[in-house]
């Protein structure tokens, strides 16, 4: 009886860990579906935006996922300021942010 209880506990624990990790991670495939708003600036080598002033758009492919997520959260909360990025970040859910962070970290 004890052995069965231990096996059940291990199964439940492993399922919890498996599913909790999945919800924490970003979904690269989901980000690819939503990426058009980012790719227009961040996936063109040497691209320069002209609003609000002319500047080079940072290349974010290959950055750490945590950095990308924190940057998007900062734009969303007002900790960082840029009109276009703030407008986009305000539309993103927590999962969207994780998805984009995973997508760009893997580029």
Q: Map out the domains of the chain with their CATH numbers.
A: 26-105 (1.10.760.10)
What pTM, to 2 d.p., does this model score?
0.73
Average pLDDT estimate for 8-31: 62
Specify burial of residue 52 (Cβ count, 10 A radius: 0-12, 13-18, 19+): exposed
**pLDDT (tens digit per residue) in 29-65:** 999 999 999 998 999 888 888 776 788 888 899 999 9
**pLDDT (tens digit per residue) in 56-74:** 888 899 999 999 999 999 9
Short-list 37, 44, 39, CA closest to 92: 37
Q: What percent of the chain has pLDDT above 90?
A: 58
Q: Are 82 and 75 in contact (CB under 8 A)?
A: yes
């Amino acid at each position: 009886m004890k052995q069965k209880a231990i096996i059940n506990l291990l199964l439940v624990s492993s399922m919890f860990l498996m599913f909790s990790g999945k919800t924490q991670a970003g979904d690269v495939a989901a980000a690819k579906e939503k990426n058009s708003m980012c790719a227009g600036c961040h996936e063109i080598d040497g691209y320069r935006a002209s609003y609000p002033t002319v500047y080079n758009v940072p290349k974010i492919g290959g950055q750490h996922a945590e950095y990308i997520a924190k940057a998007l959260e900062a734009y969303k909360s007002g900790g960082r300021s840029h009109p276009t990025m703030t407008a986009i970040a305000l539309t993103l859910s927590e999962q969207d942010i994780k998805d984009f962070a995973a997508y760009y970290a893997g580029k």
